[in-house]
């Protein structure tokens, strides 16, 4: 395998459809994206694993949003990992890459030797879509349940969208001769094509805490097609998902050749942050000079750090807030 062949499918999301099963899906491979996200922070491995899983889910879900839209996933929890936040920015133009950024906040002294999902407690996962200026953002919330962030996302689609959805994900540190050890992730998302849901009971679903599951939303031929696709997905191996030597198209043929898989154009993704000095100034523009004074350091500066990329901003307090005299260097 040449380096070019590997690069060809790293940091991409490939949408596909299984024509005989009435199921659509995506295959994602993240490599440089995770390196870009995680090198900004010194997270313990268990926190890195949660951020990797969240970034992979974000890439798989975000691929379907339109140009210039923004998808955000956020976990809020009472556990050791208090929050995980990811943003997916749709391409600004056709053919350009989407951008992903992510970060987590946690209490180091509360982390345990348990599985990554053990580090989050009671809480919720929120999925938000921002369609741009003048449009009201959409938000859906689901409880943290099911033993993984992927299970939470599946529950979200069942509750909020009435769409049977399944994720198969894997992630971990990869090493190869001549290459530094780094995180790599891969996964597949399956989703039944939208139809009127057969679920009508008011007694709750069959999932944890009465949550709806994919099986609650399909019956008859739809259930048979959905179950068949899931049985095939269950045969996938971790190394196939991570895919250093298996192209996404090869994987789809291996898993679903009898379901007539059809692929569409792949979406490239990269690490990218939208922070800027202008945005920092804008966020501070709601404060009075008295408020800005309280934010000023002993060195006489107002500082801000981006939690996503670590960028540091150092500003003259006289130039921020709604009483500002103008930006530094201005003659105003």
Tens-digit pLDDT profile for residues 147-182: 999 999 999 999 988 999 999 999 988 876 777 788
Lowest mean pLDDT among 72-81, 112-121, 127-136: 127-136
Joined tokens for residue 102: 């992510």
Q: Region 274-300: what's the mean pLDDT?
A: 87
CA nearest to 92, candidates 69, 120, 114, 126: 69
Residue 120 DSSP SS3: coil
Beta strand 98-106 pairing with 123-130: unpaired
Does the structure show a pLDDT above 90 at 313? Answer: no
Give the pLDDT mean for 12-23. Answer: 95
Per-residue pLDDT band at 127 (split at 50, 70, 90):
very high
Q: What's the whole-number average pLDDT of the chain?
A: 89
Structure tokens at 79: 């556990």
- For residue 8, the model assigns a pLDDT of 76
Predicted pLDDT at 202: 54
Helices and strands: H and E segment counts in the chain: 9, 13
Distance CA 152, CA 129 (A): 17
Q: Percent of the chain beyond pLDDT 70?
A: 92
pLDDT of residue 261: 95
Of 286, 280, 282, nearest to 313 by C-alpha is 280
Tens of pLDDT, residue by residue over 186-212, are 999 999 987 755 554 556 787 888 888
What is the b/e burial string over 137-166, where b = at least 16 CB atoms within 10 angstroms of the residue's CB?
Answer: eeeeebbbbbebbbbbbbbbbbbeebbbbb
Cα separation, 142 vs 209, in Å, equals 11
pLDDT at 58 > cutoff 90: yes
- Please tell me the distance from the alpha carbon of residue 275 to that of residue 268, in angstroms, as a whole number: 21
For the segment 320-328, the average pLDDT, to the nearest whole number, is 72
Evaluate if residue 332 carries a pLDDT over 60. Answer: no
- In terms of Cβ atoms closer than 10 Å to its own Cβ (0-12, 13-18, 19+), residue 75 is buried
Kind and range of the H or E run holding 26? strand 23-30
pLDDT of residue 5: 41
Higher pLDDT, 179 or 125: 125
Q: Is the dihedral of CA 195, 198, 204, 209 positive or negative?
A: negative
CA-closest candidate to residue 185, choices 24, 36, 2, 15: 36
CB 126 within 8 A of CB 76: yes
What are the b/e assignments for 270-289, b being 16+ CB within 10 Å? ebbbebeeeebbeebeebee
Residue-range domains of the chain with CATH: 10-271 (3.55.30.10), 278-319 (no CATH)
CA distance 281 to 258: 56
């Amino acid at each position: 395998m040449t380096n070019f062949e590997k690069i060809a499918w790293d940091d991409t999301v490939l949408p596909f459809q299984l024509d005989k099963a009435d199921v659509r899906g995506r295959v994602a491979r993240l490599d440089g994206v995770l390196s870009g996200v995680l090198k900004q922070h010194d997270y313990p491995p268990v926190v890195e694993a949660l951020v990797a899983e969240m970034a992979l889910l974000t890439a798989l879900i975000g691929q379907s949003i339109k140009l210039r839209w923004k998808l955000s996933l956020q976990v809020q929890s009472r556990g050791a990992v208090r929050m995980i936040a990811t943003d997916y920015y749709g391409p600004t133009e056709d053919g350009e890459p989407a951008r992903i950024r992510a970060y987590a906040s946690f209490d180091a002294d509360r982390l345990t030797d348990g599985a990554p999902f053990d580090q989050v407690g009671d809480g919720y996962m929120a999925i938000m879509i921002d369609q741009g200026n003048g449009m009201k953002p959409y938000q859906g919330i689901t409880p943290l349940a099911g033993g993984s962030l992927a299970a939470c996302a599946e529950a979200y689609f069942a509750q909020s969208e009435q769409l049977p959805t399944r994720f198969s994900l894997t992630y971990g540190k990869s090493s190869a001769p001549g290459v530094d050890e780094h995180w790599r992730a891969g996964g597949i998302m399956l989703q039944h094509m939208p139809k009127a849901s057969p679920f009508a009971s008011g007694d709750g679903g069959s999932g944890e805490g009465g949550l709806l599951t994919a099986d609650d939303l399909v019956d008859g031929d739809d259930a048979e097609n959905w179950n068949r696709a899931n049985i095939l997905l269950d045969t996938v191996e971790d190394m196939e998902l991570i895919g250093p030597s298996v192209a996404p198209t090869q994987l789809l043929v291996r898993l679903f050749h009898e379901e007539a898989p059809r692929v569409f154009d792949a979406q490239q993704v990269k690490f990218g942050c939208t922070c800027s000095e202008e945005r920092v100034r804008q966020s501070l523009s709601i404060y009075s000079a008295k408020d800005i004074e309280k934010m000023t350091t002993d060195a006489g500066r107002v500082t801000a750090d981006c939690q996503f990329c670590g960028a540091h901003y150092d500003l003259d307090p006289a130039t921020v807030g709604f009483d500002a005299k103008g930006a530094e260097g201005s003659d105003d």
